[in-house]
Chains A and B, each alone.
Chain A
Amino acid sequence: MQIPSRPYYTISSTALMQQYEDNKPLIDESVRLNIMLDIPVSRLPVLFKSLNVIKNNYIFSLPASLASDCEMLKALLPSFYMLASLDNFSATGETIIPVLRDHSVQPAAIITDLITNYFYDQGIKNLQLPIFNLDQPGVQHAVSSSFCVYDMNACEILEPGLPATIIISFAKEPGDLAVFNDYISRIKTVSDPGYLSENYVEKKIFEEEIQNWQSRVLLYRSFLDMSKSVQQKEYYEVLDWYHKEYETLPRWYKQFGQIIKVIMGKRSFGSLFNDNIKKYKD
């Protein structure tokens, strides 16, 4: 497995919130997190507030028990969408929400369509919901993500492999944050120096940024076109108004109006008889 410099380390929401409720930021800001949504609905507002405080980039994953419960999902989809909209959510070109299952839930039971369609309706067209098995040791690949259930006792070295978003889950869940930090510091990664995927996430963000600038240029061009058509419409409306209000008047009435203009000093007297004389003052 090719390891980017900063993989996503799985942590439970409960553990994360304990840390920030106590106001003891123990996880290094540069560590990317995969937050497992294992909290009751009533705790979601606190999770939002905690995520707003931390500076870590994160993705979040759904437990399969939740992702297979249609009614529960329907109720929580707005929250999931908002979680994926917070600025620290680490979109990498694709929006990834891993679904983590154990042996008790079969992949077929997971309702991915409901989630994908909801996100699509909100404008996220490339949501990916890779399903990973927490009971399966070693590396699993799905769409553009790799998931590794990592056994700290084995002290493996993670070997280079596919360029992807890498998510690491610990075979034995760290009991507290000190253990979590210790695990992170002990993981040894090997990356392929010949391949940019070491910075897979950064590369994806950079590509997206270029695309955004290109779209922006096209947008500004479309503003110019739109501006032209709006002004054209306004021009014809004014012209139409002029024809209805003035041009339809009888000739004698308009000529009389010119005399009134001369009397009011708004037109030169000479210009009534000679086209070469200047009509109006500058």
Chain B
Amino acid sequence: MNKNPVIAILYHIFYEDSYEAVCNELQPLQMYSPALLFNICTDTPGRKNMAKQLKQTFPGCFVIFTSNRGKDIGAKLAMFQLLLQIEMSADYILLLHDKKSLQALKNITWKNDLLKIILPGNIETILRYFQQNKNCGLITTKEYIVTEPFENNQFTGMNGTLLERLLVSCDIKPASFEFVAGTMFWARATPLLEFFMRFSPLAIRKELENGNVMDNFSGTSTHSWERLLCWIVTAKNFYIKGI
């Protein structure tokens, strides 16, 4: 690769027993000296201790505590605010969280699949792909690239009404409605940072639902923003690459 890319990792932690898993997951990335931003939910027992441990393991990392608003999406928005606040520039942003989805049947498979993007063998490939393909905006596990249903000029899924409203209000015009289910992906930093300089991440976070919200039965702002986080990038003529 031509130069060492600047990587910012935004990692949301909700579960009280995630520390070891987080350390193991991030180990292969340490050789790239990434900027690390952690958000621990204020509801998480032992968060102060965990913050201390994280700072010992990853010197220089930032740790914030925020309430459980918008699940990992709200947390990632808060970390985007912090990125802007500390005026940190980056080439690539990696979004991660300690997904468990305990209510789901295939929760362990989900998490393992999503973490393919930080397997030691894949990191170098991903970074090289970004450098060689200037139109690639997002890289994620291919099985989790999903297309939001859209027929007869309108969204037909649970989150349809909200999505239509948000796309207009945030002036996002994606060419396709592919997104990454699970919101763990590598992204080019520029489109995301430029967007959040126009639209305050905390103002968006404010609109998200409290608590462990799900969209199995009705649409939610949280799940709508799960889609929009990808469309912010793809609307700037970038595509999603699956690995």
Contact = CB atoms under 8 A, between A and B. Distances in A.
Given A205-B48, A227-B104, A87 B214 contact: no
Interface residues of B, number: 37
Contact of B81 (A78, A123, A205): A78
Contact of A212 (B44, B64, B103, B105): B44
B202 interface: yes
A45 B86 contact: yes
Interface string B191-209: 0000000001010011000
Contacts of B151: none
Contacts of B214: 226
Interface string A41-54: 00011001100100
B86 A122 contact: no
Interface in B204-237: 205-206, 210, 212, 214, 216
A26 to B, nearest CB: 20
Contact of B216 (A82, A209, A223, A233): A233
Interface stretch (B66-74, B152-160, B162-170): B66-74
B168 to A, nearest CB: 22
Given A49-B86, A123-B42, A87 B102 contact: no
Given A52-B60, A209-B45, A230-B103, A222 B86 contact: no
A219 B45 CA distance: 12
A91 B40 CA distance: 14
A244 B120 CA distance: 46
A204 to B, nearest CB: 12
A271 interface: no
Nearest to B205: A122
A213 B85 CA distance: 32
Contacts of B212: 219, 222-223, 226
A123 B207 CA distance: 11
Contacts of A18: none
User: From DSSP, what is the main secondary structure of chain A's interface residues?
Assistant: helix
B206 A122 contact: yes
A35 B94 CA distance: 33
B51 interface: yes
Given A85-B78, A122-B206, A230-B216, A48 B103 contact: no
A81 B214 CA distance: 26
Nearest to B62: A52
B216 to A, nearest CB: 6
A227 B102 contact: yes
A9 to B, nearest CB: 21
Contacts of B149: none
Given A212-B44, A222-B212, A231 B105 contact: yes
Given A87-B65, A122-B67, A123-B66, A78 B85 contact: yes
B124 interface: no
A273 interface: no
B46 interface: yes
B86 A48 contact: yes
A136 interface: no
B222 to A, nearest CB: 13
Contacts of A44: 85
A149 B72 CA distance: 43
B20 interface: no
B85 A212 contact: no
B202 A122 contact: yes
B66 A85 contact: yes
Nearest to B201: A78
Given A85-B64, A85-B65, A230-B216, A212 B43 contact: yes
Contacts of A86: 62-64
A223 B103 contact: yes
A79 B216 contact: no
A87 B63 contact: yes
B42 to A, nearest CB: 7
Closest 10 CB pairs of A and B: A123-B67, A87-B51, A87-B63, A85-B64, A226-B103, A227-B103, A121-B206, A223-B102, A212-B45, A45-B87
16 contacts: A44-B85, A48-B82, A78-B81, A78-B200, A81-B81, A82-B81, A86-B63, A86-B64, A87-B55, A89-B65, A121-B206, A123-B66, A220-B102, A226-B214, A227-B102, A234-B105
Interface of A: 44-45, 48-49, 52, 78-79, 81-82, 85-87, 89, 91, 121-124, 205, 209, 212-213, 215-216, 219-220, 222-223, 226-227, 230-231, 233-234
